[in-house]
Structure 1
Amino acid sequence: MPALSIGDCISYGWETFKKRPWFLIGAFLLAIVIASVPGMFGPQPHIGPDGQEIMPPVTAFQVIMAIVSVVVSFLVGIGMTTLALRAHDNVATAQIADLWNPGPFWRFVGAHILTAILIMLGLIAFVIPGIMIAVGLSFVPYLVIERGLGPIKAMQESWRITNGHKWPLFLLILAMVGLNFLGLLALVVGVLVAVPVTMIAFTHAYRTLAT
């Protein structure tokens, strides 16, 4: 298994982004819009006479829309991961249609829930184990989507392929967070570049270690 280079991952993400920047920015913007639409139908607070925010009663329709919002967020997560895989392998053939990939929905949801529970337990027990669990299971979405693995198998495989590489992976994640933060500082517009670059960079890490 080849060693993981943080510089190579970020460089790969940037070079891939430069080949089709407007496509990747457009796909990211579309994903944001899709994920945001259901939330527009949620209860909107108004300001009372005393200047405090008052939340109106929640209606049945708003409850339904809240559920729809969760479902859509999972579908967007699947779509963005699928697009990142396609763009990494050949950005010239990646399409907006790649954002629609509902097939692994239930496996993706199950894996997300189990992963979140393990990370939470690790953080409650000791912070460091929680972080290591998060890093070790960070490839679960890719394995669920690309290989069609169930939640448990995907978690086991992610832990296996990250074995011995958790420290550089952790540093890569920190570098990605830093790049996205810099994107926010750049009048927020920089996020439109930083997010696609870092998504492809992390996909490159997956491709490197899963080879």
Structure 2
Amino acid sequence: MTTKEVYTLTPSIGGSFSFGWKKMFDKFIYLLVIIFIAGIIEGPFRGAFKADEFHFWMVPLVMFGLAWGFLVVPVISFGEDFLFLKAMREEKIDLKELFRGFTTIYGNIILANLIVSALIILGLIMLIIPGIIIACRLAFVPYIVMDQKLDPMQAVEKSWEMTRGHGWKIFFMAIISFFLIIGGIIFCFVGVFISIMWIHSAHASLYQAVLNQDVRNNTIPIIEVHEG
């Protein structure tokens, strides 16, 4: 006989980090490979240079970096978020899905990322705080685009609706995530990877918790127990 221990997943900071921590070890190797690949692909966009060191010959590099950041990185980032969500759901993970956005919903991913980025930048220009609020309220857009297959504007509206009442949770989770990264750096290279995995898992868990709440079914299996 097979029974399942059930974990009640509710939208909370502690619950999300706790559930994410437990579930990420079930598919640890897969998730480690995912963040490693994503880190390599996202790397070129994270380069920085000083204005006084800029030279004309660097223009093509800057243009390439911008194109890479807006046309490639979002697809990998959205795919990464979706795979972590699948891990939290105990679903099968296929590493090919990290790149599947290039051939399926590429336009939706790019446009959704541009809309969210533009809204956040606009909010930051308006005395910073509105930008932070917008960033928190639109944190679910990648999951919604990949999971619910909504178009960009619908995803933005849906994220705004789903995060109503949860904005502060997302904000404080971002602050906790910052300190987790610092802690990971203190514990050397491996610690950073574990911190990143935990952060992704926690945010995916929060999305799932809110989604479960929306459909009035807030329990999902956490461990299968096989009994003879």
Q: Give SS of 1:25's match.
A: helix
Match of 1:16 among 23, 42, 55: 23
Q: Give SS of 2:164's match.
A: coil
5+ residue gaps in structure 2?
Answer: 1-8, 213-228
Residues in 2 aligned to 1:136 and 1:110: alpha-carbon distance in whole angstroms: 17
CA, structure 1 residues 132+63, in 2 after alignment: closer, same or farther (shift >3 Å)? closer
Query: Which residue in 2 is equivalent to 1:69?
Result: 68
5+ residue gaps in structure 1?
Answer: 45-51
Q: Please tell me the residue identity of whatever aligns with 2:68.
A: S
Residues in 2 aligned to 1:6 and 1:191: alpha-carbon distance in whole angstroms: 20
Indicate the larger mover: 79-88 or 18-27: 18-27
Residues in 2 aligned to 1:156 and 1:54: alpha-carbon distance in whole angstroms: 40
1:99 equivalent to 2:98? Answer yes
Q: TM-score, normalised by structure 2?
A: 0.76
- Give the 5 Å matches for 1:176-195: 176-195=177-196
Q: Please tell me the residue identity of whatever aligns with 2:100.
A: N
Q: TM-score, normalised by structure 1?
A: 0.81
- Which protein, 1 or 2, shows the higher relative CO under an 8 Å CA cutoff with sep ≥ 6? 2
Residue identity (%): 28
RMSD: 2.6
Indicate the larger mover: 64-73 or 114-123: 64-73
Q: Give SS of 1:189's match.
A: helix
The structure where strand makes up a greater share of residues is 2
The CA deviation string for residues 60-117 of structure 1, in whole angstroms up to 9 with x for no partner, is: 6x577446623221221122122112111116x2132221222222111111111122
The CA deviation string for residues 121-158 of structure 1, in whole angstroms up to 9 with x for no partner, is: 22222322221111111101111111111111111111
Segments of 4+ in structure 1 off by > 4 A? 52-56, 62-65
Q: Give SS of 1:83's match.
A: helix
Instruction: State the Cα distance separating 1:161 from its structure 2 match.
Output: 0.9
1:80 equivalent to 2:87? Answer no
Residues in 2 aligned to 1:105 and 1:174: alpha-carbon distance in whole angstroms: 31
